[in-house]
A = this chain, B = another copy of it.
């Protein structure tokens, strides 16, 4: 193998892929990146056996070949080189990295020992803008359950239907649903549960641009392709809960409130929660046009904050976990939001006032 790339291209590619490589005691090669020089350039590959990440880097190939070396060390090293051409060559089972003023020889492991990234036979194809997918994932990923006993909710549910992608996450205490537009209508409905780690990698890789992401796959694997980057992941088997049935369709009280003011009011009250508890009490007073948020704690004191709001329907009250409420409020992409309440033992529904693209359901704390 002998190939020349620019520092910018090589460093970008290594930064994209090296995050997935990680220390693995039983399979040390997983901390390596596979470099393959082939017609058209250099291919960089990493995997943690659940996710496979491939990035193509332009380069001038003098001799084809492949080797694996420690991903993080190579990525850090190349990022510190000046912006000039870098020559990569295999010498005595080591990777020689040369630029005008520096050279290094990195110990390698055989490319043939590196796990294969499966080629996925695609049964469906969907198209979405990178920034839209990133925004939608960010709005739901925090509510995924870290519960290994319920694997079907340990990922984000993707549902493609016509020109809409719906993402859903839940940990059974709250549920987030976000809709995003596809750039072309999907040929057929399909749905899949994507592991949380995969969605976190996607958020890291996806930029703020309008570049198109192609999502393809089958019942076992999903593939996200963005320009020269391809992320392949296993999907989670099982049936996602029929979440539509828990979304409240009616309400006794609807609260309309400024999102940021409400966030600050909740944060202030949270300082006075009982140690080890996240409970705050909300009372909705229609005549006064106010939410009263209270918390008390024997050691520190008590807090009572009134938040101006428009209350429609009956006076009402509910006890909520303030962290879960804040998680939802902080993902409302609107100056104002609405909160629908039935009784103090039924879930509340939080959403932006403008648009129906985000819904956040939160279970009350039973007193």
A binding-site residues for B, Cβ under 8 Å: 69-70, 73, 76-77, 80-82, 94-95, 101-107, 261, 264-265, 267-268, 271-272, 298-308
Contacts and interface: CB of A to CB of B under 8 A. Distances in A.
A101 B305 contact: yes
Contact of A268 (B77, B94, B267): B77
B80 A272 contact: no
A102 B73 CA distance: 53
A70 B268 CA distance: 14
Nearest to A304: B103
B271 A101 contact: no
Q: What is the count of identical protomers in the complex?
A: 2
A264 B82 contact: yes
Given A101-B306, A308-B101, A106 B301 contact: yes
Given A80-B268, A82-B264, A271-B77, A102 B304 contact: yes
A-B interface, 6 closest residue pairs, ranked by CB to CB distance from nearest:
A106-B301, A104-B303, A102-B305, A80-B268, A107-B301, A101-B306
A80 B300 contact: no
Given A80-B264, A264-B80, A268-B81, A73 B300 contact: yes
A57 B289 CA distance: 34
